[in-house]
C-alpha cells in the first residue's frame, strides 16, 4: 500500500512538471489581444475612404485647396496631424470638422486606428 501511494505521488509530481512555464517563458509570451478589438488592420480603400466620402468631400472636393479626394491627400492630412485633431474636436469648438458637427465616434475611431495601423492603402 505504501509503495502504491509513493508511486502515485511520484507520478503526480512528474505529470505536473511537464508543461510548467519558466519565468523566462512567461516574460517572453506575447500579449494576448483584447477580445473587444478588431485584429484586422484598417485600410484607406476599405475603411477610411467611405467615411471621408460621406463626411468630407462636400467641402474638400477635387480642386479645392484642401482636397481630400485621394489616398495621398488624406494620408498627408493625417500625418500632419490636422485631420485627426480637427475630427476629434467637440461640436461647438472652433475648427471642428466636419463643420456641420462631429461625426460618429466609430468613424473617428476607424481613422485613428488606420493611422495606428500604418496608413495602409489597400
Instruction: Kindly state whether residue 67 falls inside one of the protein's structural domains.
Output: yes
Instruction: Kindly state whether residue 75 falls inside one of the protein's structural domains.
Output: yes
Instruction: Kindly state whether residue 34 falls inside one of the protein's structural domains.
Output: no
Q: What is the pLDDT of residues 29-85, one digit of tens each?
A: 434 444 445 578 999 999 999 999 999 999 999 999 899 999 999 999 999 999 999
Q: What pLDDT does 96 receive? A: 96
What is the C-alpha separation between 98 and 89, in angstroms, rounded? 10
Domain count, the chain: 1
Specify whether the CB–CB gap between 95 and 89 falls below 8 A. yes
Specify whether the CB–CB gap between 85 and 79 falls below 8 A. no
Instruction: Kindly state whether residue 11 falls inside one of the protein's structural domains.
Output: no
Taking the CA of residue 68 as centre, how many other CA atoms within 13 Å lie in the half-sphere pointing to its CB?
23
Domain coverage including residue 111: 44-116
Amino acid at each position: 500500500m505504501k509503495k502504491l501511494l509513493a508511486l502515485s505521488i511520484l507520478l503526480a509530481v512528474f505529470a505536473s512538471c511537464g508543461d510548467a512555464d519558466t519565468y523566462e517563458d512567461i516574460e517572453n509570451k506575447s500579449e494576448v489581444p483584447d477580445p473587444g478589438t478588431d485584429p484586422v488592420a484598417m485600410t484607406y480603400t476599405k475603411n477610411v475612404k467611405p467615411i471621408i466620402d460621406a463626411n468630407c468631400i462636400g467641402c474638400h472636393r477635387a480642386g479645392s485647396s484642401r482636397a481630400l479626394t485621394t489616398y495621398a491627400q488624406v494620408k498627408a492630412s493625417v500625418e500632419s496631424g490636422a485631420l485627426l485633431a480637427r475630427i476629434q474636436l467637440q461640436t461647438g469648438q472652433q475648427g471642428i470638422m466636419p463643420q456641420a458637427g462631429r461625426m460618429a465616434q466609430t468613424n473617428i475611431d476607424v481613422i485613428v486606428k488606420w493611422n495606428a495601423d500604418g496608413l495602409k492603402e489597400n
